[in-house]
Amino acid sequence: MKVAALYVDPKGPYAKLEGVDLWDEARDARLYEGPYPVVAHPPCNRWGKMAPVNLKRWGTPIGEDGGCFEKALLSVRKWGGVLEHPQASLAWKHFGLEKPQGKSWTRASPTEWVGEVWQSDYGHLATKKTWLLYVGNAQPLPYRKDRTKGTHQVGGGIHTHNNKKPRLNQSLTHLTPPEFAEYLVELAARSSL
Q: Which region among 5-14, 54-63, 65-74, 96-105 has the lowest average model confidence (pLDDT)? A: 54-63
What was the pLDDT predicted at 127?
84
Q: What is the pLDDT of residue 166?
A: 76
pLDDT at 49: 83
Q: pLDDT for 68-110, tens place per residue?
A: 999 999 999 999 999 999 999 999 999 999 999 988 999 999 9
Three-class SS of residue 31? helix
Collect all residues with Cβ–Cβ distance below 8 Å to 71 and sequence separation of at least 6.
Answer: 29, 30, 32, 42
Peptide bond into 140 cis (omega under 30): no
pLDDT of 20: 97
Task: Return d(Cα 23, Cα 175) in angstroms, integer.
Answer: 15
pLDDT value for 102: 85
pTM metric for this prediction: 0.90
Burial class from Cβ neighbours inside 10 Å (0-12, 13-18, 19+) for residue 32 reads buried
Q: Say what the pLDDT of residue 50 is.
A: 80
- Residue-wise pLDDT for 123-181, tens only, equals 887 888 999 999 999 999 999 999 988 877 776 555 445 567 877 666 666 678 999 99
**Separation CA 75–CA 20 (nearest Å):** 16
